[in-house]
Every structure is written in C-alpha cells, then in structure tokens.
Structure 1
Amino acid sequence: MSDSPARALRHPSLELPGVSHGFFTRQGGVSDGIYASLNGGSGSDDNPDNVRENRGRMADALGVPRERFVTCYQVHSPDVVIVTTPWTRENAPKVDAMVTKEKNLALAVATADCGPVLFADSEAGVVGAAHAGWKGAFTGVLESTIAAMEGLGARRANIAAVLGPMISREAYEVGPEFVERFLAADAGNSRFFAPSPKAGHAMFDLPAYIRARLNGAGIGRFEDMGLCTYGDEERFYSYRRVTHRSEPDYGRLLHGIALVDA
C-alpha cells in the first residue's frame, strides 16, 4: 500500500483564516486499475476498503478526523442540507450541496466532469460545498447553497467561491433538446453554446454558466480554476472520457472544505 499523501489543488481565494480546502486529484491513493489511484467514489465498483482509505487520506489532508469527512447522496438536485454532525453512507441525505458552521467537519462533493464549487465566509465561520452538474446549476443549487450559508450567519458580499476541475466547453457536446431547454428558460443562455462539428448539436460551456449564476447571485468573489477533467487524464477522472472508451466504470474526484483552528 502506498503511503503517499492525497494530492489536492488549492486556490488562493480559499486560503483563509480557519478554512482548510482541497480539490483532490486522482493521485495519492491506493486504488488500482481503472480506479488508480485516489478514487473517492463509494458508489463505484472499486474495492470498498480502498475507497475508505482514500477518503481517509483526504480527511488527513484537510486536517479533520477521518470520521468527520462527509459526502452526500448526490441526485442532481437544487437541494442543500445544513450539516451539524457526521453521518454514515447508509443515512446520507439525498442532496447536492452542504453547508456548516461546525469546526473540524469536512464537507466533500464527488464529481467526474460536473462542477465542484467550494464556498467560504471566513469572517462568519461558514463554509459550503456544491455539486453543480448542468441540472443542478440550472435548477438553482448554487443559489440554494448561498441562501443556506446566509441562514447560518454568512454575508453574501463576504462569500468567496471557487469552481474546481470540470469538463470544459471543448469536450461537452450536447443535443438540440438540451439547447432548447436552456433557451426556453432564458434566450440569453445562447451565449453559453458554440457550434459543434456534429449537425444539430452544440458545445456547452458549463463553467461559464456556473460563473454567470454565481456572479448574478452577488457573492463577494468567484474564481474558476479553468481545469478540464476530460483533457487531463493524469490528474482527473472523467465520466465522458470513460463513456467514449466504453470502459465499465470510473473513479470519482472528491473536493472538500472544512473550518479548522486557525
């Protein structure tokens, strides 16, 4: 078993007093084969013991007890939960975002092309994490997260949010029904689509859409790391890349944030 630490990417906007965060890559874990190596996906067909150890390494990297590293049961919804105590996988809530003001309790979301967004208001001592695929972003998961943070005492103007590694426009082809759904909601959404080589299809800029939603919500600061999961196989898992290769399963990236002693 490797003893290398879980490798995470960090962003200066979240390097705040009393906040620990990491956008974890696929490097620094114990899984092998198609899951190599830091697979955090409890829903994958990877060896559960390997996944458990990988998640433990992520908790170590964030500086929280391993039993206080939580993920939700993601369902591509706009729903958010306030976390006050850890849960087990069996009783994880079916939501796509979490917020907390509890110390030493890490909130982590899983992705394999969708957008992971980590939030913090260090002055109020409130953090959040959201899984923003197209459906969650479209139906309001980002705004729900901000509202839940405000409910715990955060101020919108003090919230910093960072979008981690996710699929880029160049790799995200969608069909006409997809485009029609967005245009029906707002004709201005046309700016998020570019022509595709395939007739009737388009390339969707989900990172730009997430940026627009968060900027529209009026938070203090938003940053996009600008990293594509599809194009960087060495560091990231990608559901779409696996689908194009007809592989049987895929690993999941986890991205976590916690309040810790400064």
Structure 2
Amino acid sequence: MENNQESRLGRLYRQTYEALCGKHPHLRPWHFQWLDTVYLVRTLKLRLPQLTGRVLDVGCGDKPYRPLFAQATEYVGIDVAGREADYIVAPDAVFPFDDASFDVVLATQVVEHVENLPHTLGEISRVCKPGGMIVLSFPFLYNEHGSPYDFQRFTKHGAARLLPYEVHTLECQGGFGSTVVILTLNWLENSFNANKLTRLLKALTLPLWIPFCLVMNGLGLLLDQIDWTEKFYNNVFVMFRKPL
C-alpha cells in the first residue's frame, strides 16, 4: 500500500511546487503531470458547459470541474471519502438517489479505481434520466497509481462497451509522444520519492526539474503531432446517451 502520510518537508515542497506549477485542473506546462490532463481538460471545457439540468459527479474529489457546469440547475458530488463531497458513499453501496434523478452523470478518472465496476456502472445508469448523458474518462496507457486501488484499463473498444447505450462521443487522448513523456516523468517522480535521501535530492534539484519538465512536455506534444497510428493514446473520453 502506498504511504500517503505527508512530512513537513513534503508539505513544504508540495505547496512550493503548486505555487510555481499550478494545481489540478490548472496545471502549467512545466508541471510534470501537465500532459496527463491537458487533453482531458480541453475536452471537458468544450463539452461540459453544454450540459444542462441536474448533475451528479461520481468520485468528485474536490470538485475541480464544478465551474464548467454553468448551465446546470444543481450539482451534486459523491465520493468514497473527502471533505468536498456532498455525500460519502461506500464502494459497494447503492447511491442515495432515486431512479432517473439526474440529467448528467460525470465520472472523470474514476473507473480505473472501482473494484466492483458492474455495480458502480449500474448505479450510474440507474440514477441517470432517460435521454440523459453519462460522461466518463479514464487512463489507458498509464502507470499504476492510487495503489492498491488501481484495478483496470480500457481501450477505446472496451470503453464503447462499458454501457449498452448509444456512444455520443468517443475520444482517444494523447499519442506516442505524450504517453512516453508521461510515463517517463511519472517514473522519475516516483523514483525520487523512494526514500528520504532521494526526496531531499528532489527538493534540491527543483530549479532543474521544472525546465526539464517544460522541455519534455513540449517534446511530447510535438511527437503527438506526427503519431498517425492512433494506438498509443494515454487517456479515453466517452459520452453515452441513455435511451428514452
């Protein structure tokens, strides 16, 4: 199990890093995880403001996408933990909502962490109104994270079969360049976090780490432009419309 306890040095480093490089979903191009989110955030900014009615955010975290639902009449967030969630729901529990309660159900970067996926997808489907929209996103080519709660990956073909509904939008995000850069920078970040000595080295080399990440992120974007294979994407975005 990953150790999530943060030391004073770790907290100071995180706060300094966030001040310099941004915090999700507002990461700057020199953040080591910028390529993790740049395509997804761009798509969410395009799609979410068009959605109306009651919105349920499943696995809402600290509700980073709440501002994008400008036309929503109500926004509700649920999660298994967290101070920002309106409802705390156990992983295998029934959602505390009536059938067909929401016009939109959103679950971004959540599916890979759900152990009992049929149950959760069933609940998402149950609370979505007929004619409503279900919006999912999740990684495909990406390192293990959130251990031990990281259970699955899906290709675009698997994504289209997660629910037996019409696929409104299916987008493969990223390419060979961003995938390689994401894995490389995440590997370096995890390696630096291995022990106290390497974490101290990580803090001392921050002035070098930031420009290195900027160069690598730029290279990743460039290589994405010449990747015509459409097979090395790192993330999947899919929208389903529940039939009337």
- TM-score of Structure 1 vs Structure 2, range by shorter chain: 0.3 to 0.5
Instruction: Tell me the TM-score normalized by structure 2.
Output: 0.36
Structure whose CA Rg is larger = 2
Q: Which has the higher helix share?
A: 2
